[in-house]
Structure 1
Amino acid sequence: MRPDPATVRPREAADVPALARLLGEQQALTGYPVRWPLPFPAEEFVVRGSEVAAWVAVDGADVVGHVSLLDLAPGWDTDAWVAATGLPPGAMAAVGVLFVDPACTGRGVGSTLLAAAVGHARELGRTPVLDVVQETPRAVELYRRHGWQVVGAAGLAPGRPPPPPPHGAARLSRRRGRRRPCRRRVVAGGTGTAPGLLSA
């Protein structure tokens, strides 16, 4: 029997410094975010201007994970979700900034955070979508285990770096300085009523 997952609650401003530290601590093991160190404060990676809501996982007094639900910003990823689902951008919400303390691996913390974001998207009547860098197999497996389906993929031509993301942007894997092509999977989960979607 595995230990209970941490408690999930809405993120508070006081959580942000601990989350910024945790983001850096887990990055070496998970590779998330792909670009590290960030060209701006980690706090600005965690807290996004396009947030609909955000949650933290806590274990006692310790913050051990984070997830956000975000409005979709114009860009190729939003275009891919629209093409795959047939839904307008306002009918979707992106799950993002999901990371967990590696010491909590196997306790269901990531799954619990993911469920909070997906549940909130559905309460709002929106289809949850996300993107993931395929070089992060643990993240890909988490999403597949929860019924998410790959609905598209995008990559970059070798040797051609993407434009840098706008400061604090939500398009996370558009990173300068990668030596190999950046292959992103655009993933959608939803109600099962739209073409190409599976129940999540």
Structure 2
Amino acid sequence: MIRVRGDGDLGVCVELLRGVHERAGYPINWPAEPARWLTPEAALGCWVAVSGGRVVGHVVLTGVGDGAEVERLFVDPEAMGQGIGRRLLEHCVTTAAGLGRALALEVVDNRGAAVHLYRRAGWREVRRTAIDWGGEHASELIRFVAPGSELAGSDRS
């Protein structure tokens, strides 16, 4: 089940993010204020995936100009392979379409499972940009646009 992230979920999401960071390396650089990082100022919505009564995934949709971006998407490593990431991603696609916004996302090149998920879901890679903040773990930021959101990747860096 996907639902709006409530105030009471934020601490659980920070704990889940810590586990994802330790086991899967996301995010590459641990944020100084993880709760604030999970709630960007430009957020159009924050959602959690719940399974068996516990939060197992998280995603944020942010507004960028006339478009939207998928951000802060992660799934509990213990719950991987159950389609949770795909459902969170689809929720963002549906929400952005309802808002009339083209949708895109960016992911570092060391996130193989995430890149595979986006490609399987029909997202199209439109650009790679060199990064210097990934350390030895990542060297490029890959920009994807959602199916039907071709304008989202055309002129932003």
Which residue pairs with 1:55 in the alignment? 47
Judging changes above 3 Å, is the alpha-carbon distance between structure 1 residues 180 and 17 closer, same or farther for their aligned structure 2 residues? closer
| Bigger strand share | 2
Calculate the TM-score normalised by the size of structure 2.
0.89
Calculate the TM-score normalised by the size of structure 1.
0.71
- How much identity, in percent, do the aligned residues show? 33
Report if the CA contact (8 A) 2:108-2:138 is conserved. no
| Offset of residue 41 of structure 1 | 2.0
The match for 1:21 among 15, 20, 23 is 15
Helix, strand or coil for the counterpart of 1:132?
A: strand
Matched, 1:148 2:105: no
Q: Distance in 2 between matches of 1:113 and 1:101?
A: 13
Unaligned runs of 5+ in 2: none
Matched, 1:35 2:29: yes
| Offset of residue 118 of structure 1 | 1.0
Within a 5 Å distance, the mapping from 1:84-99 to structure 2 comes to 89-90=65-66, 92-99=67-74
The match for 2:63 among 65, 71, 76 is 71
Which residue pairs with 1:128 in the alignment? 103
Judging changes above 3 Å, is the alpha-carbon distance between structure 1 residues 151 and 142 closer, same or farther for their aligned structure 2 residues? same
Report if the CA contact (8 A) 1:52-1:71 is conserved. yes
| Offset of residue 194 of structure 1 | 5.2
Unaligned runs of 5+ in 1: 1-6, 73-88, 162-174
| Offset of residue 28 of structure 1 | 2.3
Q: Distance in 1 between matches of 2:109 and 2:145?
A: 15
Q: Distance in 1 between matches of 2:45 and 2:153?
A: 26
Please provide the CA RMSD for this pair: 2.1
Helix, strand or coil for the counterpart of 2:90?
A: helix
Q: Distance in 2 between matches of 1:126 and 1:120?
A: 9
Q: Pick the structure with greater CA Rg.
A: 1
Q: How many residues align?
A: 154
Report if the CA contact (8 A) 2:145-2:152 is conserved. no
| Offset of residue 29 of structure 1 | 2.5
Report if the CA contact (8 A) 1:127-1:190 is conserved. no
Q: Distance in 2 between matches of 1:192 and 1:42?
A: 30
Which residue pairs with 1:108 in the alignment? 83
Helix, strand or coil for the counterpart of 1:126?
A: coil
Judging changes above 3 Å, is the alpha-carbon distance between structure 1 residues 18 and 125 closer, same or farther for their aligned structure 2 residues? same
Q: Distance in 2 between matches of 1:20 and 1:108?
A: 21
